[in-house]
Amino acid sequence: MANIYEALQRAEKERDRKVSGEEVGVPVQPRWEDEAPKPAAPKPSGFLGGFFGRRAAQRAEADAAGDINKRRISMLQPDSYVAEQYRTLRGRIDSIATQRPIHTIAIVSANQGEGKSTCAINLAAVTSLSVDRSVLLMDCDLRRPRIHASLGLEPKVGLGEVLTGQATLDDALIPVEGLGLHVLGVRNIPGNPSELLGSVEMKNLVAQVGERYDRVILDTPASLGLPDSKTVAELCDGVVMVVRADVTSRNDVQGVLELIDRRRVVGMVINGTSLSRRLYGYY
């Protein structure tokens, strides 16, 4: 039992190092103390090695580009089934907004990889298509931001710099060509993300952009295990929860609803259903 516990501890430390950006490599698997490391498989050399290496790099590049395109499907294919589902969500939020003010909306999910950033980008995109409506997409994931890369943007300053007084809001805003949409991204990863998101400066910033824009969409980190998502959700008028079919467990959904004020929930997005996989393969 001691060996198992120590092995799991080592694996957890390796995971934390990767998340913090100290190391990038293949996933580390726990191994027993008395197990000798297995020799690495020989790599092809010469012409074949170069050929297969290039093919692997091309596949990796294509996969990365595919992932980015999935996150902005409403912009690339505005008439698609997926885009129409986001318009339906936009319509639901607009309907609720006739009963109470909804200017700021936090997008939350239980865990990483459930489609939260995809939802934030596409909901912001279809909302910005409305006539005479200004929209801000705000990346509040100060640990693993995705918004600027997904949209092909390179922020000079971002949310962290605005919250610490190193830049103004106007300095950090980036317009998206062809849409009534601005993006407040993340430039540098701060050492104290939870403290920044829970600061008075963050509260004032959300209030400021809520008055300045007709709708503000805030992408947040995964809810379970981190305080960040709850902190941001409490500053917003509404919350949209994202779950992935056959992945997000009932207990995880219940856990998120217990963390946030469920009265703020204005919608739920289910990714990866059998119908959408059959129609589009990825969403």
Check if the beta carbon of residue 183 is closer than 8 Å to that of residue 73: no
Q: Is 39 exposed, middle or buried (0-12, 13-18, 19+ CB in 10 A)?
A: exposed
- Is the domain defined by 80-280 classed in CATH 2.60.40.10? no
How much is the pTM? 0.71
The residue-averaged pLDDT of 237-257 equals: 91
Q: If you average pLDDT over each of 18-27, 41-50, 58-67, 202-211, which comes out highest?
A: 202-211
Gap between the Cα atoms of 143 and 200, Å rounded: 20
pLDDT band at 99 (very low <50, low <70, confident <90, very high): very high
Token representation of residue 190: 């701060």
Dihedral, CA atoms, 120, 208, 135, 173, nearest 10 degrees?
-90
Lowest mean pLDDT among 16-30, 101-115, 191-205: 16-30
pLDDT band at 74 (very low <50, low <70, confident <90, very high): low
Q: Between 184 and 74, name the one with better pLDDT.
A: 184
Tens digits of residue pLDDT in 127-151: 998 888 899 999 999 999 989 999 9
Token representation of residue 132: 């005479």
Gap between the Cα atoms of 248 and 113, Å rounded: 10
Gap between the Cα atoms of 208 and 148, Å rounded: 21
pLDDT at 277: 47
- For the stretch 247-262, what's the b/e string if a residue is b when 16 or more beta carbons lie within 10 angstroms of its beta carbon? ebeeebeeebbebbee
